Amino acid sequence: MFRGRRSLFRDEAGVVGPAYAVGILVLVAIAGVGFDYGRMVSLDSELQNAADQAALAGATQLDGKSGACDRARSAVADPVNRFVVNHSRLANDGQASPINFQATPGTGCGAAGSIRFYKDKNKVVATTDADAHFVEVLVDARAVNYALTPLVGAFSSGLMNAAAMAGLGSSVCKVPPVFMCNPFEPTSPSGGNPNTDFDADALRGAGLVLLSGSPNTPGNFGFLDLTGLGNPNAAGTVSKAIGWDSLPIDCSRTDGTTGLTPGQKDVIFGAFNTRFDVVDNGANVCPSGGTCSAATITRKDLVQKSNGCRLGNNGWQEPPVPYLPSAANRYYPIGGAYPSTMGYPRDICHAVSSAGDCAGGIVGDKAWDRDAFFHVNFSGWSHNQWLTNTGLTAQATRYEVYQWEKSRLQAGNPPAAQPLAGNLT
């Protein structure tokens, strides 16, 4: 009897119950913190995604034109016209689900409020549409009211927000680094609108005289010092982009400053000539590290008397009867004779003299001697024959003829060598 009482007093089996009671409270608190923390982090991701997408939407409108900043504001924050709408699935702060951006009152650019405009990524404030290259947006703050964490005394995440900045740039890719002054601009400020657009469609098929020299006048051309190429005056820089089969750079920005180098650059012209199968000036023609192959079709007003590819008596030179129309005799045959050979010729109004007589000056009139070209290069084809054999129109451009010749070559019909009448000196 006494032994049973002593065993009861010494029995400790029931102590696990209070331990479990205390432990469960701790585990619930930890689980609550983890659950509500996960909701808080997810809301942060929602807000940041909304800011990123809104900044990108606003950046699409920053084209430098009048009203760019206002259009960017509308794309971000206008309830009707905004480009994207993001909803919060986790905020339970009593606000509607869309994540909003409070646009700055008023119009124009600047860096006040929650939609801000900058000139560059260093946040230099943009005050005009032309200078606004970046937009920064700040979302309206949202909050998560905790579900379980109040057990440990935390009731809300507090107001959370996010910001993002985006800009819009443009690039040109896989193009030779050559610039040309707009031929449609007037030669002096008093001669018309100096901001006249370059109308490429109007020039389709027209010849254009490229002027080389110092002043940046309409029609003047030169070379671009693109990112990654270095100094255009140095051999083997721009020449790589002109002559190499594969360009050494992929893309280069069109906004910002690019070095311009007007005037003649003999080394670069040598790289240009390799496209026409003219290899002159020795090692400077094709910079090391790449291959400067000739184009598929290399017609030109030059002939050879030997296998040399350089210019001069031992290589390429003018034929005995060059293509030289005149104002009085604009179309061949002239005096019953055709040129010894013909490349893709200039517009006739440019070819009749060094100054030409084109009404458009440096811009031609699209009239070139197609009949003479096909007669010389295709065994005397007549006008009707080349129309029938090529399927081209009577107003075919030189590029269209080039494309036809290229397709003919790919089909296994290489151009035959043309015999010459006359002797080379």
- Could you please report the per-residue DSSP string of 101-128? --PPSSSS--S-TTEEEESSTT-PBP-S
Looking at the domain assignment, is residue 90 inside a domain?
yes
Residue 302 has pLDDT above 90, yes or no: no
Q: Of 139, 122, 132, which Cα lies nearest the Cα of 70?
A: 132
Q: Write down the pLDDT at residue 21.
A: 66
Mean pLDDT within 113-120: 88
Q: Domain check: are 348 and 402 in the same one?
A: yes
pLDDT at 255 over 70: no
Whether residue 189 is found in the same domain as residue 242: yes
Most confident of 7-21, 105-119, 206-220, 332-346: 332-346
Number of domains in the chain: 3
- Amino acid at site 133: H
User: Pick from 130, 150, 169: which residue ends a domain?
Assistant: 169
Q: Is the pLDDT of residue 15 over 70?
A: no
Query: CB neighbours (10 Å) of residue 129?
Result: 21
Share of the chain above pLDDT 90, in %: 20
* Cα–Cα distance measured from residue 289 to residue 18, given in angstroms and rounded to the nearest whole number: 81
pLDDT confidence tier of residue 157, bands split at 50, 70 and 90: low
318 and 275, same domain (yes or no): no
- Establish if 302 belongs to a structural domain: yes
Q: How far apart are CA 189 and CA 375, in angstroms?
A: 46
Domain end residue (candidates: 295, 325, 358): 295
Q: Which of 295, 327, 345 is the last residue of a domain?
A: 295
Q: Are residues 269 and 392 in the same domain?
A: no
Arithmetic mean of pLDDT, 49-65: 88
Please check whether residues 102 and 214 belong to one and the same domain: no
In a domain, 286, yes or no: yes
Distance CA 357, CA 350 (A): 6
Which of 142-151, 317-326, 379-388 is predicted least confidently?
142-151
Per-residue pLDDT for 116 more than 70? yes
261 DSSP β-pair partners? 223
* 333: preceding bond cis by omega (within 30 degrees): yes
Quick check: 358 pLDDT over 90?
A: yes
| Same-domain check for residues 254 and 313 | no
More confident residue, 4 or 374: 374
Label residue 245 by pLDDT band (50, 70, 90).
confident
**For residues 217-241, average pLDDT:** 64
Between 377 and 198, the more confident residue is 377
pLDDT tier for residue 8 given thresholds of 50, 70 and 90: very low
212-225 pLDDT, tens per residue? 665 566 667 777 66
Q: Are residues 98 and 150 in the same domain?
A: yes
Give the domain range for residue 260.
Answer: 170-295
- pTM of the prediction? 0.62
Whether residues 256 and 330 share a domain: the answer is no
Task: Kindly report the length of the chain.
Answer: 425
Comparing C-alpha atoms, which of 64, 103, 62, 110 is closest to residue 81?
Answer: 103
In a shared domain, residues 126 and 187: no
- Residue at 8 is within a domain: no
- The pLDDT score that the predictor gives to residue 395 is 96
164 and 196, same domain (yes or no): no
Same domain for 287 and 185: yes
pLDDT reported for residue 14? 59
Residue 379 lies in a domain: yes
Neighbours of 133 (CB within 10 A): 21
Same domain, 45 and 156: yes
What is the predicted pLDDT for the residue at 139? 83
> Is residue 300 a part of any domain in this protein?
yes
Q: Is residue 33 part of a domain?
A: yes
pLDDT digits (tens, 9 = 90+) for 366-421: 999 999 999 999 989 999 999 999 999 999 999 999 999 999 887 666 655 555 44
pLDDT by residue (tens digit) across 267-279?
677 778 888 888 8
Nearest to 420 by CA among 322, 297, 278, 329: 322
Q: How many Cα atoms occupy the beta-carbon half-sphere of 424 within 13 Å? A: 17
pLDDT of 324 above 90:
yes
pLDDT band per the 50, 70, 90 thresholds, residue 91: low
Contacts of 1 (CB under 8 A, 6+ apart): none
Is residue 153 in a domain? yes
